[in-house]
Structures are given as C-alpha cells and as structure tokens.
Amino acid sequence: MNIKNIDHIGIAVTSIQESLSFWQASLGIELHGTQEVPEQKLRTAFLPVGDTEIELLESTSPDSSVAKFIEKHGEGLHHIAIRVDDIDAALAELKAKGIKLIDETPRNGAGGARIAFVHPKATHGVLLELCERKQK
C-alpha cells in the first residue's frame, strides 16, 4: 500500500457555521468550500492547512453516523484520513491481513474522493479513513 500523506482530519460538529467562527476568525484559516454528501447524510466544510485539510462534518439527519457519533461522544475528532494511490488495492491488502474494515468496497466521499473506513477496533480506537483522489 502506498500511503501518500494525511489527507484530512475530520471533526464532528453540530453546526459548521458556528464552528467556522473559531477556525476562520480565531485562526485565520480560510474556508475552501462546503459540500453536501447525501449518501452519508452530512454536510462538509474544508479548511486547508498546508498540504492537508480540516474537514468539519455536520449531520443532515438524526440517523447519520455523524449524528450518532456526536450523541455518544459529543463534538470532536471523528477520523483521520490518509491518502492512498489505489484504494481498491489498499482494501484488498488490509482484508488479506485480516484487518477489520467498515467498508470492504470504496464509496463516494466529499470532493470527488473515493473513501473507505477501517474499523476503530483494528486501529486501537481511531476511525481511519482511506482516501483516493485523482488530484488535490
């Protein structure tokens, strides 16, 4: 598996708009854009920081994974995403090693990425996202 870099860090928030006041006004990080991801029942906002991004995740439905996460843990760090060259090959390699996966096949994520999640039980408590992007 060829890991290129940390693609982004996902933070679950109840309101992107309220959260932006900290990231933009306090830290001076400019909003790169927002996007609704209907398949995952969430809205995202990306804030570039060097070669990576902060991704704010806001639920658009009470039954989304982000809403359930906030209900259980409160707002905060949701996942770390690493960028890979070939997500299909990465998933096959992890599966062959017996690594517990949430997604055995990639799904569409924000920004045109193909994504898949590794179960936190396999990573000692961290939700890990594999992310494949054609360009960034």
H/E stretch holding 94? helix 87-96
- Structure confidence at residue 97 (pLDDT): 97
All domains of the chain, ordered by start, with CATH?
Answer: 3-132 (3.10.180.10)
- Structure confidence at residue 50 (pLDDT): 94
Give yes or no for a contact between 81 and 97, defined as CB atoms under 8 angstroms apart. no
H/E stretch holding 13? strand 3-13
What is the rounded average pLDDT of the residues 105-111?
91
Percent of the chain clearing pLDDT 70 (strictly above): 99
**Residue 136 scores a pLDDT above 50:** no
Question: In this structure, what DSSP letter does residue 123 have?
Answer: T
- Structure confidence at residue 134 (pLDDT): 81
C-alpha to C-alpha distance for 128 and 81, rounded to whole angstroms: 6
C-alpha to C-alpha distance for 45 and 35, rounded to whole angstroms: 7
Question: Helix, strand or coil for residue 118?
Answer: strand
The first and second tokens of residue 15, run together, are 């309101």
| Count of H-run helices and E-run strands, the chain | 3, 8
What is the rounded average pLDDT of the residues 10-16?
97
pLDDT digits (tens, 9 = 90+) for 40-98: 999 999 999 999 999 999 999 999 999 999 999 999 999 999 999 999 999 999 999 99
